[in-house]
Each structure stands twice: as structure tokens, then as C-alpha cells.
Amino acid sequence: MSSLATEICAPLAVLGRDVQVPLVNGEKVGYAALDYAASSPALQRVWDDVAAYAPYYGSVHRGAGYLSQLSTDLFEQSRRTVAEFLDLREGDQVVFTRATTDSLNLLAGAVPAGTRVFAFETEHHASLLPWAHAGLDVHYLRAPRSRAEAVAALDAALAGAPEGPKLLCVTGASNVTGELWPVAELTETAHRHGARVVLDAAQLAPHHRVSVRALDVDWIAFSGHKLYAPFGAGVLAGRADWLDAAEPYLAGGGATRTVARETDGSVAVQWHTGPARHEAGSPNVIGAYAIASACRALTEAGFDALEARERQLVDRLTAGLAEIPEVRVLNLFGATGDIHSVARVGVLSFVVRGWNSSHFSAALSAEYGIGVRDGLFCAHPLVRTLLGDEDAAPSECGAPEPSLPGERSLNAIRVSFGAGTPDEHVDRFLTAVRELVTDGAAWNYRNEGGRCVATVQIDRGRREG
Ligand SMILES: Cc1ncc(COP(=O)(O)O)c(C=O)c1O
């Protein structure tokens, strides 16, 4: 039986794994990077590939010289590598962007006028906001409390929608709870009603194999800096028709086929179709090459093994937190069920009874060398829904100011990890949470310019006495 079990790989080598950071008591400790959901460390392999290419760096699509030709080939090969990684269909395009936010704003500008966009209010702001910003009509769907409810809510909303083009924007994995969304079912529902789908894979692609063909989504977006390739590039990939028919995202060199002065003094432009239409300006070849390198590295490590390892870490984390009654893990789906039953990537948010989340996160950093994130994670409506009122921050250390009159100050703590995370980081995190909850912080903290900083050591003997 055990021979059938998926092999679990060792953590992949990432930069920063040996970095020592100072603790508030003057000691040094290896940094535990547990904020992969914000930006993951670079894979060593990506760094090495970029360093090996760097001497050959040259302009892309603009030079006759050898290095320009080589760089152009590398850029276009990177596009093909990403297409393979995403298992794109014949005719799908890969557009290199700056990141997911850029990709979704690009698509919002390419959506035909009159399109009605559907998005759950639980989305990251990058998926929630570009549509109305581009002047489109948006139908926000209320936070569903189960996957089945999400599919049913979309079905009902689309059934009642007027004729005309429609688009659903949905995340693959939540950046707050890490929970997986039922992308295939939502896409099947959307397509049945004639709506297209764009998948925000910012948190999914670094953790899971993603097949655009199998999921049948129309577009997908992700960021290089969350996929171990922090060189300023991202991806929008998918169907060509709306992209080719749209105005170019940016006007400038590279997007144009011809530009001619007319006799009346105006300038007539013929724009390219294909990815070049939306990639005006000198392309970020290093960013694109770094993403392609990460795609190759993850594929070679094998997603079965990577996912198995991550599941093991997620289980370790959720089991450890479940033993601390003061900790409340935030789940949208299965909120009342066993947290073990929640399918998630290595992203989890929680609050600690009696603690302000900024204070807790600051103590994790200052006293244990652990880097997590606190706040509302650019998903304000979702975090507010998950926290409700009862978790209003009990102290003011670093807590965000309430933005509306009468609103209470809320935030949470997010721990996230991925392919480079050693077991020790999760274990140290659990030990730290247990100690902080049981013994309290060893230092006092105060809010300085919005940051929670350690001030003086607490005399534990005096306090206990
Ligand atoms: C789910 C999700 N979508 C979109 C984004 C935006 O990504 P970026 O900041 O790389 O543009 C993020 C970033 O945290 C995210 O988690």
C-alpha cells in the first residue's frame, strides 16, 4: 500500500534560507519566512538561471545584434514555457504583465462595453476592483459559506441576468483563508449561462498544478513574485478574441504595426494583434525568463510531490493550532466544521483571543524571528465578514484605524508557506504561538508610526510575583 503513496519531496532550495535576523534580545536566529502569500522567496534555481543569462542580456524585439536576437528568442521561449505550464489551448495567448493586478486591469480594459461582470465580495481587491474602475457594470455576489453555495449563488445570479456578454472573475485559492474555490464547477455554471471566466491564480499557481484546458477557464492571471520569480513580471493568458479586439493596454512602441503621418496632420496607427498588442514598451525579459525558470523548476520537482509535502505542513499547522483554544482559524467554507476538512493551500489566517493581531505578529518577529503578515490582506470585505464584531482588536498596537464612522478596528494574522518551507519553520511558529498565548510577550510593544515595536523587556518575575 505504502508504495502507492505519493512521494513527498524535500523543500526546494530558495534564497534567504540561511539569512540570520536579529531578535529584540540581541540574539540572532535564522529567518522563518512565513509570508509566501505576499511574496515568496526566489527559488535558487530561478536566481541561478537569471544570473547565467544576465551577461547575455539585450533588447527584445528591437535589435539586430547577437545578444538582442538571443534575448528575443529567450523571451518568446519563456512565453511557450508558460503556455505549457498552464496547459493552454490552441490559440490561447500569453501576455507578460507586471503582476496579477496588472493582468486583471488589462483584461478589464479589454472586456467589450456592456459586459456585466460577476465577482464574489470575498475576492482580493485586485479581482474585485478593476471592473468598476474600467466602467463596467459589476454584480457583487455575497460571501458564500460553502462551495456548493458559491455555485448555487452564481447560477441564480446568471439566470436572472439580462442578455449580453458576461464575465465571472473568481479566485482559485483565497489569499486570506487559503481555501480552494470550486473553479471547475463555477466555470461549468458560467459557461452554461454564456458567461466567460477569468481565474485569479495568484495563490493557486504557486501551490497546485493548474490546467486551463481542464478547468476550462477563459483567462488566467498570476504573479511571478508569488511563484518564486521576483523580477517584476506577471502573466495574463487565455482567449485571444477579446484581447485582439480591444484597444491596446498601453500605447507605444512594440504594440504598433505601422504609424503614419496623414495628410491632415493626424497620425494613423495600425496595432498588432497577439500578445504584442498589450505589451507596449521594452519587455521585461528577465522577469519573463524568471517566471519560465520557476515553471520549469516546479514542473521538474513534480506537483504531486510538492502538493503532498504542502498537505503535510498544512496538517501539522492546523493540528497544532487546533490544540490552542485561544486561536480561531478563519474559514469561509465549513466555518462550523473541523478545520481538517477544509481543502486549502499553505495559507491560513487566524486571530488570538485577547490579542491585537499586530501586537501578536510583532512579537512573532521580534522574539522568534518569524515573518508573518497582519492586517486585512487587501480583501477587506472578506476579512470583515470572517471576523465579525466579536474579534474587535482589544488594544491599539498597530491596528488599522476604522475606516467608517462606527466601524470597529479589526485585523487578523496570516501565516503562509510553500515549496521552500522547512518543517522547522512551522514547528517554530507553533511553539511561538503556544508560548505567546501561555506566557504572554516577553517585551512591551507600542505603536510607532503605525508599526508595533518592542520597547522594554517585561520583568516576568515581578509580573508573576
Ligand atoms: C488572490 C490574489 N489576487 C491578486 C493579488 C494581487 O497580486 P499582485 O500584488 O502580485 O498584483 C494577490 C496578492 O496578494 C492575491 O493574493
Q: How far apart are CA 387 and CA 263, in angstroms?
A: 64
Average pLDDT over residues 74-91: 98
CA of 268 to the centre of ligand 1 (A): 37
User: In 10 A of CB 376, how many CB atoms?
Assistant: 21
Average pLDDT over residues 121-138: 96
Contact indicator for 330, 176 with CB cutoff of 8 Å:
yes
**What band does 324 get if pLDDT is binned at 50, 70 and 90?**
very high
**What band does 344 get if pLDDT is binned at 50, 70 and 90?**
very high
Averaged pLDDT score across all residues of the chain:
92
CA of 227 to the centre of ligand 1 (A): 11
**What band does 5 get if pLDDT is binned at 50, 70 and 90?**
low
**What ranges in 348-439 are assigned the alpha helix state H?**
357-368, 380-387, 423-439
**Helix axes 423-439 and 303-322, enclosed angle (nearest 10):** 10
Q: Is 461 exposed, middle or buried (0-12, 13-18, 19+ CB in 10 A)?
A: exposed
Residue 7 has a pLDDT of: 81
Query: What tens digit of pLDDT does each residue of 253-270 get?
Result: 999 999 999 999 999 999
**What band does 4 get if pLDDT is binned at 50, 70 and 90?**
low
User: In 10 A of CB 25, how many CB atoms?
Assistant: 11
Average pLDDT over residues 309-318: 95
Query: What tens digit of pLDDT does each residue of 280-299 get?
Result: 999 999 999 999 999 999 99
Contact indicator for 70, 54 with CB cutoff of 8 Å:
no
Q: Is the CB of 200 under 6 A from ligand 1?
A: yes
Check whether 406 has a pLDDT greater than 80: no
**What band does 341 get if pLDDT is binned at 50, 70 and 90?**
low
Residue 2 has a pLDDT of: 43
Of the listed ranges 76-85, 229-238, 272-281, 351-360, the one predicted with least confidence: 351-360
Atom 14 of ligand 1, nearest CA residue: 38
Pocket perturbation via mutation, ligand 1, pick of 96, 98, 203 by most ligand atoms within 8 A of CB: 203
Query: What tens digit of pLDDT does each residue of 198-213 get?
Result: 999 999 999 999 999 9
Check whether 465 has a pLDDT greater than 70: no
Q: Is the CB of 175 under 6 A from ligand 1?
A: yes
Check whether 418 has a pLDDT greater than 80: yes
Residue 301 has a pLDDT of: 97
Residue 449 has a pLDDT of: 80
Q: Which atom of ligand 1 is nearest to the CA of 126?
A: 4
Residue 393 has a pLDDT of: 54
**What band does 460 get if pLDDT is binned at 50, 70 and 90?**
confident
Q: How far apart are CA 456 and CA 454, in angstroms?
A: 6
* Core vs surface per residue 48-84: b (16+ CB within 10 A) or e: ebbeebeeebbbbbeeeeeebebbbebbbebbebbbe
Atom 16 of ligand 1, nearest CA residue: 175
Average pLDDT over residues 437-463: 85
Check whether 42 has a pLDDT greater than 90: yes
Average pLDDT over residues 211-227: 98
Task: State residue 415 phi and psi, 5-degree precision.
Answer: -115, 135
Check whether 112 has a pLDDT greater than 70: yes
Average pLDDT over residues 346-372: 95
Residue 450 has a pLDDT of: 77
Q: Is the model more confident about 377 or about 6?
A: 377
User: In 10 A of CB 2, how many CB atoms?
Assistant: 4
Q: Which of 169, 295, 378, 452 is catalytic?
A: 378
Q: Is the CB of 349 under 6 A from ligand 1?
A: no
Average pLDDT over residues 332-358: 80
CA of 175 to the centre of ligand 1 (A): 8
* Core vs surface per residue 118-142: b (16+ CB within 10 A) or e: bbbbbbbbbbbbbbeebebebbbbe
Check whether 166 has a pLDDT greater than 80: yes
Name the strand (E) or helix (H) holding 314: helix 303-322
Of the listed ranges 212-216, 352-356, 421-425, the one predicted with least confidence: 352-356
397 part of the active site: no
Average pLDDT over residues 151-178: 97
Q: Is the model more confident about 41 or about 343?
A: 41
Residue 337 has a pLDDT of: 46
Q: Is the CB of 179 under 6 A from ligand 1?
A: no
**What band does 308 get if pLDDT is binned at 50, 70 and 90?**
very high
Pocket perturbation via mutation, ligand 1, pick of 177, 226, 228 by most ligand atoms within 8 A of CB: 226
CA of 438 to the centre of ligand 1 (A): 34
- The closest of 192, 114, 180, 197 to 146, measured between CA atoms, is 180
